[in-house]
Structure 1
Amino acid sequence: MKDLLPPGALKGQTVGISVSDSPDLARLGLLESHVNVVLGEIARVVLASGGSLAYGGHLRPDGYTPFLLSEVQRYERDDGPLLTVYLSWSEHQHMTRDELSGRLTIGSWGRVLCLDPNGQVIPDPLAGRGSESAPRLSPQGQANALTSMRRAMAERTDARILLGGKRARFSGSIPGLMEEALLTLDSMTPLFLVGGLGGVVVDILRALRVDDCAWLPRDLDAPAEDPRLVEGRRQLATARETPGWSGLRNGLTDEENHQLAAAYRPTEVAALFALGLGRIATRSAD
């Protein structure tokens, strides 16, 4: 790994991690703990090379934020927060002052950015909050807030890697990882697609014609597709056909992206990720 991406190669760079529950883990013979191991390897690639991580999610103990925090705590660095957590307006607007205050403190390794409905950082998210919870946003309000958060992340990250992803029971106009893929492509930022854990990343790979993922067994008991999933695939296919399409821009060859599309072993995912980032860093240096 050191030869592919030496220490300091990602200094000043931020990599966005997009991950959510994959409905395909059981079909693939994998456990949720396997996702954490893959995440840990990805985090180490970035942190050992001087970079930092960004994650858009929530601060509840059942999410990926606590795990990512446990990873960044392994590194003794004094060059700023190693993990930035973006909280969309829909995630925090209903919280009381005490509820939010208790979740904003995540140690010196990380920071939490609370965003307003337009995706702008709120300087003092505790100002004006009281002891009563505010009503939650409407489904459309939630979708708009999530889009704003994802756009803000796309503008502040230098690469993004996607794993898993829900095909149903998600908040948004299309599945979250699909929207993040579209925003990353629009910003011409390197995009890494890890398909071996299944989930909506498989749909993204197929829609962008990166890989047909024929290795994924069919789910004969799958429910009818959410129309928003179908719409997400349509938008991705349209992006793929846009004049000037330049691919994933992730430093990997077509064959290497095929390998990443089917990868599920933590070391293989990390090696391909480091290979792509290393090539990009080398080109930038040249």
Structure 2
Amino acid sequence: MMSKDEARTDLLPPDALKGKRLGISVSDSPDLDRLGLLDTHFRMTLGELARAVVIAGGSLFYGGHLQPEGITNFLVEELHRYGRRDRPLKVCLAWTVHRLMTAKQIAEQKEFLGLFGEVFFLSPDGQRLDGPVDEPPQQSFASEEHAAALSGLRSFMTDNTDARIVIGGKREGFQGNMPGIFEEVLFSLERHQPLYLAGGFGGATLDVIRTLRPAFAEWLPALPDGAEPYQRLNDGLVRLGEVASAQKWDGYENGLNEEEGCLLAASYRPSEIAALVGKGMGRLLVKN
């Protein structure tokens, strides 16, 4: 197996990822306590990814929100450290996110992004709009509207990025027919998009790895204490396996070799994860 030092030393030269766009899929994992990890490990990993991709000339696509203390603000603060002022961060807002915001809130956050990022406002079905809707904000949305808007967001991000990194992911309390992480991976498989599945934080990402590359997930038992998975969780994993088989594509055509893919599937070390993603994307760029 490749050593951890080897994973860290293959650094990318400046502009190695110029023109490359990395989609970020990250959410809380129910396995953190079990693994002895904290939520801050997520942010440390995102910070390292931002550093690796942005310094090498790439851009980051994140589908989230513009609320204070959120991931978007964290990423902008990280970008302040690296000097890229050509808006390398693309914040994609689902319809049901930006339509809940006032014009003042949107203006404040766009000002905060400044030269470090730009906002893509999406329609209910995930099409990019010219800007925010010039109407008073809505007060609420039905659960079906939330689910449809999130699917549109995930489809947009997949169509407009070159690769996707996936970390964590909850197994319950999700909207729609399957966890969001599953749907994001599903869209990537359907479009033959390279995936970087960082499984060291557990969660839905490790469930995906266990479905696509079972040997890569042997380091953690599937279910603690014999707990039974939710039916929708099982159905989603079955669907992922079917799509990967039909497409003859499991996302691991990502520039990493077998040893490196196995290491990424178990790593929780921010610098190691960032180095592996950068290495894989860099190799893809050379090939293409």
Q: Report the identity percentage.
A: 45
Match of 2:193 among 189, 192, 202: 189
- The range that moved more, 98-107 or 13-22, is 98-107
Is residue 98 of structure 2 the alignment partner of residue 83 of structure 1? no
Deviation at 1:161, TM superposition (A): 0.4
1:96 equivalent to 2:102? Answer yes
| 1:58-111 deviations in Å (ceiling 9; x for gaps) | 112242111111111112234x31101111012122333334333343222011
Larger mean Cα displacement after TM superposition, 101-110 or 272-281: 101-110
**Structure 1 counterpart SS, 2:25:** strand
CA distance in 1, matches of 2:196, 2:203: 15
Asked if structure 2 preserves the Cα contact closer than 8 Å seen for 1:28 and 1:216, the reply is no
Q: Deviations over 1:172-230 (max 9, x none)?
A: 321111111111122222110000011100111011125452322542285x5333322
- 1:69 corresponds to: 76
Quote how far apart the aligned CAs of 1:122 are. 1.8
| TM-score of the two chains, using structure 2 as the length reference | 0.90
Q: Structure 2 vs 1, CA of residues 243 and 64 (structure 1 numbering), >3 Å: closer, same or farther?
A: closer
Aligned counterpart, 2:225: 220
1 CA distance for matches of 2:225 and 2:37? 18
Distance 1:176 1:57 in 2: 12
Task: Tell me the distance in 2 between the aligned counterparts of 1:245 and 1:178.
Answer: 15
Note closer, same or farther for the CA distance 1:247–1:97 as it changes in structure 2 (3 Å cut).
Answer: closer
What is aligned with 1:6? 13
1:113 matched residue in structure 2: 120
Counterparts of 1:254 and 1:9 in 2: how far apart (Å)? 23
Instruction: State the Cα RMSD in Å.
Output: 2.0
- The TM-score, its normalising length taken from structure 1, stands at 0.90
Count of aligned residue pairs for this structure pair = 279
Alignment-derived partner of residue 269 in structure 1: 273
Gaps of 5+ in 1: none
Alignment of 1:108-147 (within 5 A): 108-127=115-134, 129-130=135-136, 133-147=137-151
- Indicate if the aligned counterparts of 1:15 and 1:51 stay in contact, CA closer than 8 A: yes
Partner SS for 1:94: coil
Whether the 8 Å contact between 2:216 and 2:262 is mirrored in structure 1 is: no
- The equivalent position to 1:18 in structure 2, one of 5, 25, 30, is 25
SS at match of 2:35: coil
